[in-house]
Copies of this chain bind each other. A is one copy, B any other.
Amino acid sequence: MANPTGLAGRRSAAERKPRKERWAELIETATQVFYERGYEAASLQEIANRIGMLKGSLYYYIQSKEDLLFEVVNEVHQKGLAVVTALAQGPSPSPLERLHRVIRGHVEHTCHNLVPTAVFLHELSALPEDRRRQVLGDKHSYQGVFRSLIEEAKAAGEVREDVDPKLAALSILGSANWVYRWYRPDGEFSAQQIASHLAETAIRGIASEAGLASCTR
């Protein structure tokens, strides 16, 4: 480390960065500290230290510590949801193929945005209920994307009759989300490898014989 004290050192006013730039730096640092310590255990003091600012000065940018968590969590949720909905709407021979693509995309996005995703999945519960709902939206948007695809596939006869779409959606989302707990960029499995495996087994788990036959992978 260039700075063994962990303090970035305060700058003179002349070095002040543009507000937008500072804000981005602040969010990035907060994400990292929340990831390492957990939201509750993370202190504004440490965040301030890392960006070379006094703790009180953070309030030039925020109204409360909670604002930081909200921002971090909201940002990654929007991004992830965008990825997943885009893939779900794309063209494809069959709903089951689209589901396959959505799972892959979701898992790869998780792996490539491990730190903010982990904060989202682990610390969302630290937000008060109203702000949590503000992030998630009134609908179960994420779950809804998966569920709709499964319903569609079921209507097309590609999914077994005894499969409950909501239960299946929760199950698939679970195996996918859990990835943040064990994936490591330098680990033995690549993001693509994990994404492919999860998508493949999830599809096989719910597909009817007809559905399985229609997937030519």
Contact = CB atoms under 8 A, between A and B. Distances in A.
Interface stretch (A3-11, A51-59, A78-86, A175-183): A175-183
Contacts of A112: none
Contacts of A41: 40, 126
The main secondary structure of chain A at its interface with chain B is helix
14 contacts: A38-B38, A163-B201, A167-B194, A168-B201, A171-B197, A171-B198, A171-B201, A174-B174, A174-B181, A175-B178, A201-B205, A201-B206, A204-B206, A205-B205
A202 interface: yes
A125 interface: yes
Interface residues of A, number: 34
A215 interface: no
Interface string A141-167: 000000000000000000000011001
Contacts of A26: none
A49 B173 CA distance: 39
Interface string A35-55: 000101100000000000000
